[in-house]
Structure formats: structure tokens, C-alpha cells
A and B are shown apart, each in its own frame.
Chain A
């Protein structure tokens, strides 16, 4: 919200500098996002009249405009198109310096010389309006060559751009901001001048008002203004609207906006001549009704929206013939719009249910200054004060204005201001600081809370404008927030709390860090690939499979939650290959998702309005995926890395078991499942990436083999699934170990790890078994290969004798034989 300092000063004495005020406003939670000085540096700008507009040969974005600024015709090249011959516009002549230090010089383009610049309001820093030249016709009685400042009767001013939080609708006005300042600075808040009704005719004798939907419209007031002359606004009104970023339209409309900016009450205006029976009625829209709003869009009303809990309720204002005039609190219709011919005006100042406005506004994708205020909550007691202020502001340009007596005031259901008990201890208990009772009452009274001393602390009643203040214990917190805010957060002394419980990472988090350290030690670079991908990406590995889709994605490229990190990592790797920096191992820790229909027991959580539904959610699986993309990498690199990792993680015995049912993405004949022997749990896969997948991602032949390690961290992190080696350490025997090598001709289907495990189980004397050679080929039979193991034998009690070694050797051989392996 943009507010001029001069306007604030009408409500509270402010002698502070702009910097000081900025600091105070920030500290009150009214954050100043920008400060602008307006109306400065415009001394050189004059009023000019458009006398001729011609096309420039070869240019379609700019035209040649001839203007008169009091010294004969001047040719100016101009890109705006919102004007015609006869309009008055601001001209910055050659040599003028605009706010911001931009100097106007003669420019020649396409053979035409431009002798100055015609300006928009934004270029003059008078407002945010940049939709074309500033048109002066409606603002002043223009006089060619007059200085712009005097023509507009502008005085330099400072404009604060203040961000008002969603729970502070009361502060969304000049008066609201001033009230906070006045309370903080302990100064009185001044009131805006109000008009009184000026006619003996009663409003009821002219028109009528009614509420048919008291839950949607809590209050409807209608004032009637007669003898209206529609004309340009006085310059002080126009300037304030422009400072606030609004475009002045006419005195009748501008006064409405002025009051909204000043007091926070949006009002609706109707040309009484166009409203049947001069009657305004608030009712529910009925199914299949339509309304063409002022923006020219025809909208279907009362249609249930897609949003959660949106039943499609719309509140509309209708006339005495039940014709819809506007979408209540959001936007009017074209049928009863104020026009230059308007002489009698109906002014609607109302209270609408905030949630109804919020839902309608969201459903119709229609936001306005009015709806933004109503959906947060406008003070239900403000309506008639706003009407009186409107009469005062409009009366300034329409002295003969007649405001009919006893404006109509119909009540529906209004929220009751809560009454809350707050004790000094409550304040201390929540804030941790002792604020004397006297300070509490004066701070709250500054904000117009009613405070009375009761037996138990204070009884506090919120002003009606504070619709954010709730009942009971929540309301107590709301009130204490107000106390803290006005007291100053910075004045609350800090205390560092301590507690007997100790801080720690969970086992899972410690484990994850350990895994990351090892993987980095192995030479992997950690990557971060997108969680959202395209259907094509998803189909690459999981064609046709149910997927978790985003309802409102930004683009089709980011519309499906990933079910694997393989695709993303291969893409990241291939881009690095294209950059010539692809000689790398890439790793990613992340979550992959599965549609609940694919899971036997999907994750469930309460949801829906009130949390009354049980929803099925996608399953989430944390994985570590490593892509080995260095020049000589392949499946064996991945296996070797896995062996290092499993030992560093203290895993007792995980079998690298070749699988014929490799999951998608893996090379079908170079893949193995990682199976925990004790638990039987699957911990992940190791192997190579299917060349066809790389081909699809790179749109061309794969440059080389790519190893892959894809681990299920949920399983790996669970000691019930990934069996840890015992924590108890073994002290090696003091006696020498006997080392024997044994090579077995072993059937293909016998896993080398299984055979080693069996050999290890032969007896206590077996200290360790390790595979050191594999041979396949003649003279060995097809379907067999030779597995050569080094076996260490030892005893804690003695040096092993030859007979013991020989007996162990026989036992090892016979164990191998039981698996179909014969000594070579």
C-alpha cells in the first residue's frame, strides 16, 4: 500500500524524519518496502497539446507527434498510443532533467528528429501508471505551456510503500497506519472531517435496501446523493490517488477510492437512474445466473469451484427488479455504472463475509482493491462513517450536493467482537518480559481496545475492526501480540533457554552422513536432479505405470514425481559429457515416489476440510543412486565401490546376487541384487545402466559403459534389514595363520559369495575367505568357472599343525562339493 506522508500527517502529528518513520513503521510490522519522493524535479515539464499524429515511414512502434507547448509546433517521436489530437499531455522539452537524473536531448531516428519527450505518470514519478502518456484533460483546465506542477497543483510529497500483513486489515488504510504510529508515539489520533446529511428528504422515501443472505452480507448501508455533477476531481484528490497508484477517473468515483484508501472501507457506486426502484438487495446468486463485470467478462455464478470446500457460493447485489448489478464486494457490473450524465448516486457501504469474498474472488480469478479488503475483513462499524467521509470529499467539488437523511442501514449476521481476559502474568508468561499493567492498558487503548480492570486481570474487548482477534486462549495470544508489537519486539530481553534433554542426530541421520562421507571418499560428486519430470521421462523406465501427477504443474516437463533418480543422473552425466567434463562419478541422495495404487499398504493420513478424510498418499523411498561415468567404468567399478561401502557401513554379509529380473534402467545381463543374507532383505541393485536408456537420454549412441549403484536407504538404514556386523571386536590370534589357496570348478549358478559363506561356515578355524581369481574357458566345461579363494586358518590357542590344516582343507573341499564345486 502506497501512502503519502502528507496524508498521514492529517491524522497524526509527525515531526520525525523519513528515515526515523521508516524505522518505526518497520518495527510496528508495517514494513516499508520503498520510499519515493514525488513531484520533485518536474520544474522543466510543461503542458502541451497534441496537434497532429503521423506515421513514420519504416517504423511501426513509434509515431511522429506535433505538439504545441506555447512556442509553436514541436515534432516529437512517441511510442505511446493512448492519445489523440486535442489531448493535453506533459512534455519534457530538450534540456529538461527528469526525476532520476535523465536528461532529455534531441534524438534523430529514421530521419526524424525528436525535440523532447512526452511522458507517462511513471516517467514523472507521479504514480506507477505506465500504460501510456499521462492525459491531463480530465485533471485540470489545461493551458498550453503552463508548468506541470502548477497545472496539477502538485506539492512535493513522500510516499511510503508499506506491506500490510494479512492479519491486519485494520492497518490497510491511512487512518490505520496513523493509529499505530499515534499509539507508538503516544500522540492523539486526529479524525477526518465528516459531512452530515444535507437534506430533509429521507433516504427511505427515495430507495430501499434489503439483505436476503444475512450470512453472506452482514450489513448493507445505502446512501443517496442527489444533484451530483460528474467532473474531474480536485487536484488534491487526484494527486493522492496517483500517489497511491490509482488512476483518477471522475470526482464521483475518485471520492469512493479516496475513502477506501483513507479509512479502509470499499464502497459501491450506482447511477440511481439505472437501478430499478432505487433498490439494492444482497442475495445469493442462483445456479446458471451470469454477470458481465466492469472488466467486460461474462461470468457464470454459483458454480461449485475446484478449490477444497468451495461450494460455489456467490453474493450478488441486485436491484428492485432482481437484476444483478454486481458481484458483491468484488466488482460491479456495467449496467449501472456512473457516467457523465449521472445526477443521482446510490452509495453502498457494506460488510461481507470474508470467506465468501475470498472463495468467490479465487473462483472467478477476480481480484480488486475492494475484494482484497473484504476478504481480510472490513470493520463492520465503518460503513456510515465512510459514507459521511464520501459526502465530505465529494462535496468539495460538488457544493450543491444533497445527501438524503437517514441512510438505509440493514443488518445481517455480524461477527461479535470478542471479550478476553488478560492478566499481567499471561503477558509475562508468553513474552518473558514484565510489562506494567498501566503500559498494557495504554497500549491497548491506543488501538481503541476497551480495557477494564477486572478481578482477574483486564477484560479486553477488541474494536470491531480487529476481526483478527479471536475468542478465548487464542484471542489472548492475539491481544498479547498487539501489546508486544506496540511495546517493541526489540525491547524484549533475550534469554537462551536450556533443558536437560540432549541434542543429537537420529541414528538414521548419522547413518546417512556416514554413507555420504564414504561415497564422497570413493570419488563421487553429489548432484541434485529434479524431483519433477515429464511423462516421457517417467515412461523411459516405467512405461504405462501409474504415476503421481501434479494437478497444476508449471509445464508438462515438470508434471510427474520421479520414481527413480537414474534418469535424472544419467541426464546430468550426459550433459557433463557434452561439456567435456563427464569423466565423473555422480551420486544423489533423494526421495522417489510411487503411486499408492502400486503399493500393497499405502501411506495414509487424515486430510480434507477438518481433516475428516483418510487419504492415500504416495509412498516415499529414500535412495542413494550412484552413476559411474568415468572413462573405464563399468559394472565392476560399481561392484567394487559397493564392497567398499558395505564394509565401511559395517554390514555383515550382503550377497551380490546376479538377477535375471533386473529392474528397469539396469543392463539386463549386468545386474545384481544386493541381498542381506541374514534378513533376506533387498538393499538395492548394482550393475550397469542399460545402453538403450543412455541412448534415449543422449539421443545418440552411448559413448561408454556406465556403472550403477542404486541403494534403498530406508532398507540400508534399518538394522533389521541390513544386518550390522557385531560391535564386539575380535582380537586376532597371536599364533601364525596358515594360508591356503583353493580353486574350485563351480557351476555358473552357484554364487561366489554363497560358496565363500559356506566355506566360512566349515569351522572355527576358518579365519577369513577371499576370492582372488575367477577363470572361465577351456579346458573348463561350459557352464562352469573356476573360483579361487585364499583361506586363512588359525586358532586362538595354538599354532595349527599340518594334520589340522589338512583336515580343514578336506572339510573345505567337501563343503564345496556339497554345492557342486570340485577342486580344480
Chain B
């Protein structure tokens, strides 16, 4: 063993550790690293020299050397963190800026052209149409309880109709009680509850906002999307009014040559319920691939408020009646701008975004 190449290993390790301790800057450390742990380092040289030993000795020596290498590498990494921290402190100090001292006239920048988002713009346009028709606009939260998202809308727990919405559940409270709203309808419940509490019926409101559905993203679906719904609760409101409001909106938003039609459908919160379709905006009703040669595009759902919903919020269904409708803001944007892949909306590529005006 006296001739072991590792005879001085303890001493050599101590030397290496002291070298590491004396490295004063990150640059110095990076420069010294190959000589400490690299291929030409002392440790690597010793490693190669083990080849001449008997197998048993070689195994023991190898383990010894491995331990030493670990100690050196740990010291190096600790020193690196220390130096990085120090460098960051130095950097932060040299960066220090009192932002209260910024002199406006001294900040000079080239002109940049800004662009509003496609969804925000579309939402504003839709809101403006409805404001012109006498609607107010209401906002609501994106995380809701199951009561607001489902049960008050006449969709009781475990009801098969809950399966119509692929729901993201939030890990709070009892299972399946907190959800990312799957539609903006919960805002309708909030509005009606408030109106009852304040005794401030009627309601004529639209509610735009972001919703979530657990749906595989593809060219036509994202897991988060935007909806605008409308709610009217007033005296003497009928299905004819619903059809009239949808027709007025359709012509105002899509153009006077576009019309709407209703056909029976099922939604738990409305009765009677109707899908609404508009003339295909691409072929103007002539028939094309987009509308499957029917001349019509499905836009959204609507119907007269179900008595169960009115009851859930404490509105007397004998005195008041109303309707609700809803459709996708993103879908309107897609139709107007012939957007072939919705995923572009969340990819935020400057070249896409700067087309908005």
C-alpha cells in the first residue's frame, strides 16, 4: 500500500478545497473548474493511475477516490452558489434606480404601434350592439360554486345534463362544489339575486366573460374561451321578444343581409329552448363547405327562463317572465376574420397580433 498512488490523497484534497475557497469571482471559478474536476485535473490523473493496481486494491482505491471527488465537487458547487449570490447582490446594487427620479422628458423611445386583442375588440363590438339595444353589461367571477354554475340553473348534482359541460373542478371544499365556470350563466343568477335583494327588477343585461371547458384543444376549441350571454326579466316578455332581439342583434352585428332562425333544443335553464342559427356569413346563405351547404351556421342557445330558475332566485314567475341567450365571442371573431386555427389566439405571435387594428 505504501506505493499506492493515493498515498497523499487526504493532503491533496485539502489543497484542492483551499484552492476552491480562495476563488474570489465567478469568472475565476469558471476558469479554474477544468483543473479541479476536469479531464486533466489531479483527480482524473489519479483515476487513470489506478489501472495498474490489483483488482481488489483497485476497487478500494476507486471508492476512496470517488469519495474525495464528491467532497471536491460539493465544495465547488457551494462556492459557485456563494459567488453567484454575491455577484447578484453586487449586480442589484449597481442596478439600483430610484424610479421616483425618472424625468419624463429624458425617456426617449421610438414610436411603437400598439394593437388591441382580437377578443377584446370583438367583445366591445358586441357590447356596443347590445348597449344600443338597451342592455346594460355585467361582469362576474370565473371561479364559481356548483350552485351558481349548475344547480340554480336547474341542473342538480349528478344530473346527466351536467355531462353537457366538460367541467374543470377546483380542488376546494367538498368534491365538485367549486368549478371554473363553464358558461357565463352564473352571472345571470347573481344578477337576478341582486335584483331581488334590491327590489330592482326588471333586468336587461348582457354578460360577457371568460369560461372554461375541459375540452381537448384543437383548431376550433381552446380550454378557455369567451362567451356573451343576455338576460331579460321583465313583465310581459315572450318568445316572440326573444326571437326579435336575436334577429335585431344578428342584423346589427353581422349586417343587414344576415338573418336568424330558431329551432327547438334542450337546455335545462330555459323552456322553451332554442338553438339559434344565422345565415352563413361566408357564402351569405348560398351554401358552402363551412355551413355544410345548408346556408346556416349555428351560433348559440336561447330560450325562455325556466320557472325552476326563477324559483331558485326567488322571482315570481306569474308576474315576471324573461329569456336568456348566449353564444361565443371567440366564434364571432372566428367567423368575421375567417380564423382557421383558434390556437393562434393564445400563441401570442407578434406577427399574428399586429394584424389587429
Q: What residues of chain A have their CB less than 8 Å away from a CB belonging to chain B?
A: 26-29, 31, 165-168, 306-310, 354-355, 358-359, 362, 375-376, 428-433, 470, 472-474, 476-478, 480-481, 484-485, 489-490, 492-499, 501-506, 508-509, 513, 516-517, 519-532, 548-554, 558, 561, 572, 575-576, 579, 581-582, 584-587, 589, 591, 593, 596, 603, 605-611, 613, 615-618, 620, 630, 632-633, 635-637, 639-640, 643, 655-658, 667-672, 686-687, 691-692, 748, 751-754, 771-774, 785, 787
Contact = CB atoms under 8 A, between A and B. Distances in A.
B96 A558 contact: no
A503 B130 contact: yes
Given A28-B264, A516-B116, A630-B109, A376 B346 contact: no
Interface residues of B, number: 120
B263 A355 contact: no
B170 interface: yes
B157 A609 contact: yes
A617 B143 contact: yes
Given A307-B175, A496-B241, A606-B147, A429 B263 contact: no
Contacts of B177: 308, 607-608, 613, 615
B216 A554 contact: yes
B304 A430 contact: yes
B119 interface: yes
B11 interface: no
Given A27-B263, A551-B169, A633 B241 contact: no
Contacts of A636: 97, 99, 102, 106-107
B93 A484 contact: no
Contacts of A667: 92, 95
Contacts of B98: 658, 672, 748, 751-752, 785
A495 B120 CA distance: 30
Contacts of B304: 430, 477
A501 B353 contact: no
B245 interface: yes
A618 B262 contact: no
B126 interface: no
A495 B242 CA distance: 8
Task: List the 3 closest A-B pairs by CB distance, nearest first.
Answer: A29-B264, A432-B238, A432-B240
Nearest to A589: B120
A355 B156 CA distance: 10
Given A497-B237, A635-B97, 4 more contacts: A516-B120, A522-B112, A525-B354, A751-B100
Contacts of A478: 271
B145 A607 contact: yes
B267 to A, nearest CB: 9
B95 A753 contact: no
A811 to B, nearest CB: 23
Contacts of B101: 752, 771, 774, 785, 787
A473 B147 CA distance: 22
B134 to A, nearest CB: 4
B351 interface: yes
Contacts of A752: 98, 100-101
A508 B139 contact: yes
A575 B348 contact: yes
Contacts of A558: 223
Contacts of A358: 158-160
30 contacts: A27-B264, A308-B157, A308-B176, A430-B272, A431-B238, A484-B264, A489-B272, A492-B239, A495-B240, A495-B241, A503-B130, A503-B136, A519-B114, A520-B116, A522-B114, A526-B115, A528-B119, A550-B180, A552-B214, A554-B214, A579-B349, A584-B112, A607-B173, A608-B147, A611-B147, A617-B141, A636-B97, A636-B102, A671-B99, A754-B100
Contact of A484 (B138, B239, B354): B239
B272 A484 contact: yes
Contacts of B202: 499, 501
Interface string B300-341: 000010111001000001100100000000000000000000
B272 to A, nearest CB: 4
A267 to B, nearest CB: 21
